[in-house]
Chain A
Amino acid sequence: DQQVKQNSPSLSVQEGRISILNCDYTNSMFDYFLWYKKYPAEGPTFLISISSIKDKNEDGRFTVFLNKSAKHLSLHIVPSQPGDSAVYFCAASGYGGSQGNLIFGKGTKLSVKP
């Protein structure tokens, strides 16, 4: 059973507009959430993270929002640029057992059109 879900396999957005990527999780023991960006045939690169004690973290054009009661987080990219076109993975950690390991969602492919 998937503990981290990204229900939208793809998203298409016009350049300059906002991109919103969503992620849901089921395990309430997750402490940290991370977003990674991945280009084809390359390794993922870390984008932004958020601790479960916060509800928002911002870094330039990227903002992550966390709603613990809904077990939902989202990544906002404003304004979207063509170079943002990539697959975005949501990941969670801190669920005990193999503490520190990351559980990844299946990813959302973002296409930003000029």
Chain B
Amino acid sequence: DGGITQSPKYLFRKEGQNVTLSCEQNLNHDAMYWYRQDPGQGLRLIYYSQIVNDFQKGDIAEGYSVSREKKESFPLTVTSAQKNPTAFYLCASSTQRVVWNEQFFGPGTRLTVL
């Protein structure tokens, strides 16, 4: 089955620790995205990558880092510099061949920093 997987579904970390969220897709999509959702908020873009070995900051990149060494994988690291890391994190991917940029989302990871 083609799709996007995110692991784990729930993640707990102590304050001050870095944590990496996994995102893998087997849709052969070129573009991948990380969003953050907070209660009562829309999805805010953290980072995106349109091609392997290249990525760009989104609207709220501070305190986060990413890598795109493989087409299938786009891990997100939440660093200790992120002031309010507790949130629901969503990864998405899309093909550049569709102009309306329908993005396919993973199931999300809920990160709680204690």
Contacts and interface: CB of A to CB of B under 8 A. Distances in A.
A25 interface: no
Interface residues of A, number: 26
Nearest to B6: A43
A111 B86 CA distance: 27
B102 A89 contact: no
B101 A93 contact: yes
Interface stretch (B14-22, B39-47, B66-74, B77-85): B39-47
Contact of A43 (B40, B50, B108): B108
- Please classify the interface of chain B as helix (H, G, I), strand (E, B), loop, or mixed, using the class held by over half of its residues: strand
A45 B105 contact: yes
B105 A43 contact: yes
Interface stretch (A65-73, A78-86, A98-106): A98-106
A6 B43 CA distance: 13
Contacts of A94: 99, 101
Interface of A: 4, 6, 9, 31-32, 34, 36, 41-46, 49, 51, 89, 93-94, 98, 100-102, 104-107
